[in-house]
Chains A and B, each alone.
Chain A
């Protein structure tokens, strides 16, 4: 599975959009981009995933560049409860491994 690079930490004002970038320049054509988050040492929680089209669900939006070498997770109206570590993972379809990197610490401030 391709390696990902994320900023170590980011701050966001409450109520504003949080944009979390992820670089995956070695991504292969059959690899998906997944986002998870981990709040306060709980078990990680799935957020969203995509292959090449932009995706949106009730939690977030995922924007994948046309060359698929990077992506951005968007939390449209961040709240204090969105403070967490956000992990970007690249994984093949039918992939048997799920390997986490260091992630981005997002701090939402009032």
Chain B
């Protein structure tokens, strides 16, 4: 199993450009999450999904969009990149059932907007 795979690992965007951060998991997890982490700060939840076709806003959703058409994939879309979106983005997944299992994280995408 690959676990949670994020692509790309690094990206530089110009202000106003758009891009999609990819996240895929092969563990058949129903829950998936996107976080951002600014330098020296904690993780902030952007969006999450409890299953295919269902998404919901987290703490800092402005400037982002998500979709969940399959169980495996949860892409994060930046439509008009701004310098404030310079951050490290982490995707995570978990399979919540009665045993309340843990979340697994990808290695992150480091995004710089200039």
Chain A complexes with chain B: yes
A98, B103: Cβ atoms under 8 Å? yes
Query: Chain A: interface secondary structure?
Result: loop
Provide the residues of chain A in CB contact with B43, threshold 8 Å.
Answer: 38, 44, 100
Interface of chain A residues 53 through 110 with chain B (CB within 8 A): 85, 87, 93-103
Task: Known A41-B88, A98-B94; judge A93-B100 contact (CB<8 A).
Answer: yes
B31, A96: Cβ atoms under 8 Å? yes
CB distance from A44 to the nearest CB of B (A): 5
Task: Known A96-B48, A96-B56, A97-B58; judge A42-B42 contact (CB<8 A).
Answer: no
Whether, in the assembled complex, B92 has its beta carbon less than 8 Å from a beta carbon of chain A, the answer is yes
Interface of chain A residues 1 through 54 with chain B (CB within 8 A): 32, 34, 36, 38, 41-46, 49
Chain B positions within 8 Å of A, measured between CB atoms, are 4, 31, 33, 35, 37, 41-45, 48, 50, 56, 58-59, 88, 90, 92, 94, 96, 98, 100, 102-108
- Residue pairs across A and B with Cβ atoms less than 8 A apart, 8 shown, are A36-B103, A41-B37, A42-B107, A85-B42, A93-B100, A96-B96, A98-B92, A99-B58
